[in-house]
Amino acid sequence: MAPCVLWMDEIEKGLATGQSDNATSQRVLGTLLTWMAENQNSVFIVATSNDITGLPPELMRKGRLDEIFFVDLPTPEIRKEIFRIHLSKRDLNPDDFDLEELAQKSDEFTGAEIEEAIVSARYLAAAREDNIAQADIIGALERTYPISVLRAESIESLRTWAQDRTVPA
């Protein structure tokens, strides 16, 4: 199929180096490493990982994965754009909402958490047979405990690890 992009989402789930899967992950890793070394076709590999510490070091070396990028939680400007996208996707006019306030109220939220706040707000508005309002979204955000709160220590640890080892994206 080359040339192509091979996308491996949450690669650590398939290549965990634990002992709980009768060495299946180790065989998959061995097969992948062999393929990467022997493949002569134009295949650009992109992999995502939520926990890079779960990846085996032999996969991480230059020549296998040439660059490691760190994608942190979205900035206020990016959160505004995420709101704009998900409101539009649901046939809502983003201009009817104060995106600046929504971005401020969603500090440290992931894009998925922002999307779910909009979905939740729509359900609440539908239940009362009304249109979705700014207050509905803010209420949904206030009822959400983002991953940055639930896993604050692990996120901070990952940020610290990534600081001098990765390219910010």
67: region left, alpha or beta (phi > 0 left; psi from -120 to 50 alpha): beta
Predicted confidence band of residue 16 (pLDDT cuts 50, 70, 90) = low
Tell me what pLDDT residue 90 has.
Answer: 96
Residue 150: which pLDDT band, with cuts at 50, 70 and 90? very high
Checking if the pLDDT of 70 tops 90, the result is yes
Cα 89 to the chain's mean position, in Å? 19
CATH 3.40.50.300 positions along the chain are 4-66
Distance of CA 126 to the CA centre of its chain: 29
* Average pLDDT in the chain: 92
User: Which residue would you say has higher pLDDT here, 17 or 167?
Assistant: 167
- Tell me which architecture the domain covering 76-149 has in CATH: Orthogonal Bundle (1.10)
Determine the pLDDT at residue 17: 63
CATH 1.10.8.60 domain extents, the chain: 76-149
For residues 154-167, one letter each, b for 16 or more C-beta atoms within 10 angstroms of the residue's C-beta and e for the rest, the string is ebeebeeebeeeee
For the record, the structure tokens of 154 come out as 């692990």
Average pLDDT over residues 97-102: 98
The stretch 22-38 carries a mean pLDDT of 87
Q: Are 144 and 116 in contact (CB under 8 A)?
A: yes
CATH topology of domain 4-66: Rossmann fold (3.40.50)
Residues contacting 152, CB < 8 A, separation 6+: none
Q: How far apart are CA 84 and CA 102, in angstroms?
A: 10
